Amino acid sequence: MVFEPKLIEVSVPARPEGAVLVLHGGASRGERMMVSPTQLSVLRMVLIARRIARAGGGRLAVYRLLNSRRGWDARHTPVRDAQWALDRIADRLGALPVCLVGHSLGGRAALLAAARARGVVALAPWVYPTDVAPDLNGQRILFVHGADDRIASPGRSATLARALGERVQTAYVRVAGGKHGMLRRHALFDGLAADFALATLLGIHRSEAIGRIEAGECWLTL
């Protein structure tokens, strides 16, 4: 059976100034299973996509991606699905600046596809310290990771953030008490994703934390 990715419109104004692509997580093993729109990893990102759309105030096009399969299959990774979605967005909207927002393995896919975007928000990303995308040039990257995450290692994401920080502007927010599902302190996770997308694409920010990052802070605990 052939599984295909699906690009879902969340909010697409007539004249957007930028685009945001939201990527869900999935199994760390290579599961050749179709993604369900009702699985928790997908539903969690619906709320974040809507938060970004509201914050954008009609200035940002926001899309969600349903991957072609649940896992990270070495023959067809979520990075390829993200690149497919970026091609579709470019076909529809033209050469707009893009911010990628991904959770868990979606965060890893966003980071590895970062060369195609202006900015990346990696939420509780499941990564290896060597996941440094080639051809980075001027991107802005934000990691947001719960200190109590027992599924995706905060230590590994912090190591990757340090490596990326040697190449592009990178900030890391440690969320005290935060876990992998981002349900505890969800408003902080969601708000940081939305505010960083606005700062990256529209040059505005509304939260103190993003203001601190804009001012040059790289490591925050909230």
CATH code at position 173: 3.40.50.1820
Per the structure, the complete domain to which residue 130 belongs is given by 6-221
Share of the chain above pLDDT 90, in %: 81
Q: Give me the pLDDT at residue 205, please.
A: 84
Q: For residue 56, tell me if it sits in a domain.
A: yes
CA 65, 71, 75: angle at the middle one, nearest 5? 95
pLDDT reading at 38 higher than 90: no
Q: For residue 151, tell me if it sits in a domain.
A: yes
Q: For residue 140, tell me if it sits in a domain.
A: yes
Q: For residue 59, tell me if it sits in a domain.
A: yes
pLDDT reading at 29 higher than 60: no
Total count of domains within the chain: 1
Q: For residue 37, tell me if it sits in a domain.
A: yes
pLDDT reading at 2 higher than 60: no
Q: Which pTM was predicted?
A: 0.94
| Mean pLDDT of all residues belonging to the chain | 91
User: How does pLDDT run across 44-82, given as a tens digit for each residue?
Assistant: 889 999 999 999 999 999 999 988 766 676 777 889 999
Q: Give me the pLDDT at residue 221, please.
A: 97
CA–CA dist 155, 207 (Å, integer): 26
Q: For residue 174, tell me if it sits in a domain.
A: yes
Q: For residue 1, tell me if it sits in a domain.
A: no
